[in-house]
Amino acid sequence: MMKDVFFFLFLLAVWVVSFGVAKQAILIHNESRVDWIFRGVVYQSYLTIFGQMPAYIDGVNFSLDQCSPNGTDPYKPKCPESDTVRHEPAFPEWLTVTLLCLYLLFTNILLLNLLIAMFNYTFQQVQEHTDQIWKFQRHDLIEEYHGRPPAPPPF
């Protein structure tokens, strides 16, 4: 079972990091702070699995007071790349929304079903061998009692 869990976590980590790198490279590719890059790549991508969507993913709920335009505020992420004509963040909406939909489809549906299938296969393998394991353990117990003297130890 633990082997299945670690394999699943490896696949999940690869998928989370690959989505996070793509999202960070598309939306905020001009970030230079390492802690915010790590937060954007791993942390926000992991929270997206559970339904917490970033406000800047499509520009609908975006406001400039949620981010730092030049990246000097240590408590706010850097704003996405700005559009020079409208002076608003330039969101490649179709690409990020498509990427987000594919990411959520794979993580929430396919990877979860993969985990269930792997656990089911492992459980079936254990169920097939339970009778044989029980017989071996019963044989070991009989051998242990057969080697003991019939009287209690002080006699």
Q: Are 115 and 76 in contact (CB under 8 A)?
A: no
**Confidence band (pLDDT; 50, 70, 90) for 130?**
very high
% of residues, the chain, pLDDT over 70: 83
Q: What is the pTM of this model?
A: 0.68
Each domain of the chain, given as residue ranges in start order, spans 2-129
Distance CA 71, CA 67 (A): 8
Query: What's the confidence (pLDDT) of residue 153?
Result: 77
Bridge partners of 68, per DSSP, are 78
Q: What is the pLDDT of residues 94-125, one digit of tens each?
A: 788 888 889 999 888 888 899 899 999 999 98
Q: Which of 68, 42, 40 is nearest to 54 (CA)?
A: 40
Tokens representing 78?
């850097």
**Confidence band (pLDDT; 50, 70, 90) for 87?**
low
